[in-house]
Amino acid sequence: MTNSKPFPALFLSHGSPMTALEPREAGAFMHKLGLVLDANYARPRAILMVSAHTSARQPFLLAGQGHQAIYDFGGFDDRLLKLRYDAPGAPDLAEEVLGLAQKAGQVIALTGQTGLDHGAWTPLRYLYPDADVPVLPLAFVASDSPSQQFALGQMLAPLAQRGVLIIASGSITHNLGLVFGQGRPPAIDAPEIEASRVFRSWWLERSAARDWPALLDYRRQAPYGVAMHPSDEHLLPWFIAAGAGGTHAAPQRLHASLTFGSLGMDAYAFGSEARQLAQALV
């Protein structure tokens, strides 16, 4: 299937599991994003989903026939355990991805396992609440470098022309020690701490400048880079989406908000359609 208007690749910050119950600004944005995508593009034939919470020693595809929500968390409101997202799987798309991987010299495994972690089903509940778009989760290798993640995204890039929406889910800032380290988290609407503000601003500026060397080397070059990502599994999906979009167009920040003073909820789009999507969301 060829789509005359390729989808932009997306990076969405999913926040804490409570985002599914307390949408705040980011949830409202993701709901609007789904409507705008439907209004400006054909409904995706499938979603290739990369979540910070599904990683492995090598990339693999969860290519089962159908998915349910996985409750991969504890200590949150019990109402979360009643939320469902029963989406169809996309085994046919898995075969396409394997073909792309072989052509690019990438090694990707295939499994009949199913399931969507909260980094996947939380944003999908807002984007496509009817759970009627097939989903193919891709587990990534969290120990791989940003450059390796970018190369993985480049391998996936042709899918955008085939009616596939690539979504990477993580967090633009993610230091849970700042949120839960004192036992009681800050207020959800606490003012932003300086380190978060400076890092998010740097990321926006370097993205607008298409400064790929700085972004790929962010742990050395970004102010407060390590402080905002003591481990970077929640930022690495950004590079997969960026690779899928390519370097020719500047990444577009679609949304910016914050929870708990340091947990950024920013969203980005990549590729030739990124700017048009940003304009449609205004």
- Tens of pLDDT, residue by residue over 79-132, are 999 999 999 999 999 999 999 999 999 999 999 999 999 999 999 999 999 999
Task: Answer yes or no: are the C-beta atoms of 203 and 223 closer than 8 Å.
Answer: no
Q: What is the model's pLDDT at position 4?
A: 67
- 65 CB neighbour count, 10 Å cutoff: 11
What does the mean pLDDT of the chain come to?
Answer: 95
What pLDDT score does 141 carry? 98
Interval 135-144 mean pLDDT: 98
pLDDT (average), residues 225-230: 98
Band (pLDDT 50/70/90 cuts) for residue 241 is: very high
214-224 per-position pLDDT tens digit: 999 999 999 99
**Domain 9-280 is of which CATH architecture?**
3-Layer(aba) Sandwich (3.40)
CA 7 – CA 23 distance, rounded (Å): 25
pLDDT band at 1 (very low <50, low <70, confident <90, very high): very low
| Extents of the domains making up the chain | 9-280
| Overall pTM surpassing 0.85 (yes/no) | yes
What pLDDT, on a 0 to 100 scale, did the predictor assign at position 74? 86
End-to-end CA distance of the chain: 30
Tell me the per-residue pLDDT of 149-184, one tens digit each, with 9 for 90 and over.
999 999 999 999 999 999 999 999 999 999 988 778
Please, which residues have CB within 8 angstroms of residue 119's CB and are 6 or more apart in sequence? 14, 51, 52, 53, 54, 169, 170
